[in-house]
Structure 1
Amino acid sequence: MQKATLIFLSLVTMFLSSCSSIELFKERTEVKPYKEYTSFVIVNKEIGVKSFSDELLDAKVSNEIEIKMKELGLIYDRESPELVIRYSSNEEPRQREIYNNQYPMWGMRVWDPWMFDPRFMGRQNMTSTKNYELLQLIVDYIDPKQDKMLMTITAVSEASGTKSKNKNLIKSARKVVGAYKDHVKAN
């Protein structure tokens, strides 16, 4: 019984992790990490620059990056950090056309003897539009001693409302810090 529960939980975990709608792009690596960094600072937080139109959302992203970096064992140091983190965003409203099926469940209704569905009477063009927002979280990791870019990571996702926007940006911040961790460990 316990083995079946363990298998079920691992399958559910794999399914949920594969449903992520956030894509990461690692860009602009000017210098390889030459050591394990021990301290960091988030420039946006220190100088009061807001990267998002919503101040609360900006604070959530900054806080999530700080928490995840501290979980990696780094210390937040304003005076002499070994790593400088700067983030920005791109929030772009977009629309998508949705094509509704005029013949649900029956294909072209070939075998339906009545050929009548009152929901679709007189409707030839069954399209509608859906509004969504393309979100980009762009995080720069900078080595201040060399004054060079360690790397830039961009997380791209889509959101259809405020709730999904908050959720996706928090997930994006987590994934960006995870990508930083993988980059440092690999080199």
Structure 2
Amino acid sequence: MVISSCSSIEIFKENTEVPVKKPYSSFVIINKEVGMQGFSSQFIDQQVQIHLQEALEAQGMIYDKSEPELVIRYTSNEDLRKRESTQNYNPYPYWGYRVWDPWMYNPYSSNRNNSSTTSYELLQVIVDFIDQKEDKLLMTLTGVTEVSSHKTKSKKVLKTTDKIIGYFIDEVKSSQ
């Protein structure tokens, strides 16, 4: 039996200067145009650029470098952390309410605590949506998740990016 844990992705809306008033028809990703890297890994950074562009184009928006209505900028916080977990290890069964049994319980041995430390990464994907005409921030969306292995990091980043785009699209639709 394989037990896998999956962490949730939480989205936070921050820094709203102006409300979303209209649907946007064109956009630009400033990181792509300026060559600004938002992630420590260049591979993940390029994946996010491609993923953002394809997801917004799927919504009917056009990538326009010269006169976009919406400017998108992204960055990340990649914070390595450790979690310590302790387990009380007792090799003796609970049957009989711990009544002394000379074949099963040795009163001279003590319970041992096993503690282990696991490393994980608290990952934040931060995307700014800026209205080009007003030159003000529509919103900053921050997606937060935990990454336990380097192999799953790019998948978690793309899932977080999907949730951020979905949140933004819902905000645009609800403003109409």
* Paired amino acid for 1:35: K
2:102 matches 1:115: no
In the TM superposition, residue 26 of structure 1 has moved relative to its aligned partner by 0.6
2:62 matches 1:75: yes
- In the alignment, what sits opposite 2:128? 140
List gaps (5 residues or longer) in structure 1.
1-18
Q: Deviations over 1:107-135 (max 9, x none)?
A: 5972684036xxxx766331110011110
* Counterpart pick for 1:131 among 109, 119, 133: 119
* Counterpart pick for 1:163 among 148, 151, 154: 151
Q: Deviations over 1:60-119 (max 9, x none)?
A: 111111111111111111110000000010001000001224137955972684036xxx
In the TM superposition, residue 153 of structure 1 has moved relative to its aligned partner by 0.2
Identity value in percent: 46
Larger Rg: 2
Q: 1:38 to 1:104 in 2, by over 3 A?
A: farther
- The whole-number CA distance in structure 2 between the counterparts of 1:135 and 1:112 is 50
TM-score, with length taken from structure 1: 0.81
Which one has the bigger strand percentage?
A: 2
- The whole-number CA distance in structure 2 between the counterparts of 1:68 and 1:92 is 27
- In the alignment, what sits opposite 1:16? none
- In the alignment, what sits opposite 1:22? 9
- In the alignment, what sits opposite 1:43? 30
In the TM superposition, residue 157 of structure 1 has moved relative to its aligned partner by 0.5
- The whole-number CA distance in structure 1 between the counterparts of 2:159 and 2:174 is 22
Q: 1:107 to 1:157 in 2, by over 3 A?
A: farther
TM-score, with length taken from structure 2: 0.86
- The whole-number CA distance in structure 1 between the counterparts of 2:150 and 2:134 is 39
- In the alignment, what sits opposite 2:169? 181
In the TM superposition, residue 186 of structure 1 has moved relative to its aligned partner by 1.3
Question: Is the CA contact 2:90–2:111 (under 8 Å) kept in the aligned structure 1?
Answer: no
- The whole-number CA distance in structure 2 between the counterparts of 1:105 and 1:125 is 14
- The whole-number CA distance in structure 2 between the counterparts of 1:129 and 1:20 is 18
- Structure 1 runs (4+) deviating above 2 angstroms are 103-113, 121-125
List gaps (5 residues or longer) in structure 2.
1-5
- The whole-number CA distance in structure 2 between the counterparts of 1:67 and 1:139 is 16
* Paired amino acid for 1:76: Y
Q: Deviations over 1:117-164 (max 9, x none)?
A: xxxx76633111001111000000000100100100000011111122
